[in-house]
Amino acid sequence: MTDKNNNQHRVVIIGGGFGGLYAAKELGNANIKLTLIDRRNFHLFQPLLYQVATGGLSPGDIASPLRAVLNKQKNTKVYKSEVIDIDTKSKEVVLRYRTIPYDTLIVASGSIHHYFGNEDWAVYAPGLKTIEDALEFRKRIFFAFECAEKIKDISEQKSWMTFVVIGGGPTGVELAGALGELANTTLTKDFRNIDTTKTKVILLEATDRILPTYPEKLSYDAQQSLEKLGVTVQTNSFVTKINENFVTFKTGDLSQNINAKTVLWAAGVRASRMGRVLNKRTKVEIDNIGRVIVEKDLTIKNHPEIFVIGDLANFSHQTGRPLPGVAPVAMQQGKYAAMLIKNRIKSKESKSFIYRDKGSLAVIGRNSAVASIGRFRFTGFFAWLIWLFIHIRYLIEYDNKVLVLTQWAWNYFTRKRGARLITGTDYLEILKKEEDEINSNLKSG
């Protein structure tokens, strides 16, 4: 099955996220044989996943079929499959029923969410990494408002109208902002029995400020913006228990309960399984969340033919701390790895990888964002415009995604969220659950 008809250099990329895709695009004009492997058939624009979760965008708006994105690259094959193992001796990627040989391998399989040893929390507080996760969020959020509308018992109703977002990184902040906006603008006229402006959105962050990887001033601005949208921000708050009715968290020695039916997880991530595979096969070091310690050129120790990039990589050569797991890092690393491979083919030297931080951005509801670009910090509408501009710039590289921005702008000006559908093949069960909730409440209430 291996292609040995000629001696072209074979590059295999595992993962079609920002890292893998940018590497693939950069290699599109190289005289190599390129195979991109992903278990999904699309690239996902993860920074906008929270918009799907809150009904602002549809899944199709933020996903591009990998085949379509890469179909102009004659040297590229897309292979939809799960990777089982990497045989670093024979230089083959092991799939379930075949292997794919490589001369150079780029591993960019990203990260998954993780509950620090409390994996049973996943049921009550799902995480946000995939399209399916986002639809689960959307279902839970709008299901909660439907329940609140029907229920008579005031304390139960409050519990349905309380949303806890755990984790004050960019995803948690943007999600909490979108929820605040949903409750205070989008939905205000839609219900008859509840006043959605009474919705409580609580953002819990374990460290002393939200957006801890951003400049301090921005954290402060973001918190202010969130509070304007009715979000309660609780820092230094460490979650100790989650179940279907409440969240318990500790602030110092003080333990508190929040009665909430909807809890959304935006806290920890850990590296994907490929980190452990590489560790086992090559003895490369991995850190406490499974990221692979990479060299200055993003390859791994003793294996110059293996690159690890994006969320899976721990690159600490620049600041002494690992670079954050965000899209710009993955993109730049993808491009760097591709450039280095092209240099090698031409027997050219390459410099070490350096991440150029073009700024940090978070969008907090309509009309407000926080941005830090070089020495400058922006907030409010101007930051929002910058946010929009940067996203337009990246999105238009794929497919028809300029339309997403039209949709987004439309939502912005009309304050509407047209995609707030409760869907799923289990929709009749959802309905049954909803009615059972209310019935048990009627009996006890």
Residue 68 contacts its own copies per CB under 8 A: yes
Q: Which stretch binds its own copies (CB under 8 A): 105-113, 156-164, 226-234, 428-436?
A: 428-436
Residue 61 contacts its own copies per CB under 8 A: yes
3-state SS, residue 14: strand
Residue 111 contacts its own copies per CB under 8 A: no
Q: Which of 92, 156, 174, 295 is catalytic?
A: 174
- CB 309 within 8 Å of CB 333: yes
Given the complex with its own copies, which of 126 and 168 has the nearer CB atom? 126
Question: Of 288, 287, 309, 282, whose CA–CA distance to 298 is shortest?
Answer: 309
The interface mask with its own copies, positions 3-42, x = CB under 8 A, is ------------------------------------xxxx
Q: Which stretch binds its own copies (CB under 8 A): 156-164, 240-248, 314-322, 423-431?
A: 423-431
Told to judge if 174 belongs to the known catalytic residues of this protein, a careful annotator would answer yes
Question: Of 107, 93, 34, whose CA–CA distance to 313 is shortest?
Answer: 107
Residue 96 contacts its own copies per CB under 8 A: yes
Stretch (H or E) spanning 369: strand 369-373
With contacts defined by CB under 8 A, how many residues of the chain interact with its own copies?
A: 63
Residue 212 contacts its own copies per CB under 8 A: no
Closest distance of CB 338 from its own copies, Å: 20
CA distance 184 to 182: 6
Given the complex with its own copies, which of 65 and 324 has the nearer CB atom? 65
Stretch (H or E) spanning 391: helix 380-395
Report how far apart, in Å, the C-alpha atoms of 137 and of each of 133, 145, 259, 266, 423 are. Answer: 6, 13, 18, 11, 11
Stretch (H or E) spanning 113: strand 111-113
Among 197, 431, 433, 445, binds its own copies (CB under 8 A): 431
Among 4, 89, 192, 375, binds its own copies (CB under 8 A): 192
CA distance 153 to 157: 6
Among 8, 28, 94, 95, binds its own copies (CB under 8 A): 95
Residue 116 contacts its own copies per CB under 8 A: no
CA distance 384 to 46: 18
- CB 163 within 8 Å of CB 148: no
Given the complex with its own copies, which of 89 and 192 has the nearer CB atom? 192
Known catalytic residues are: 174
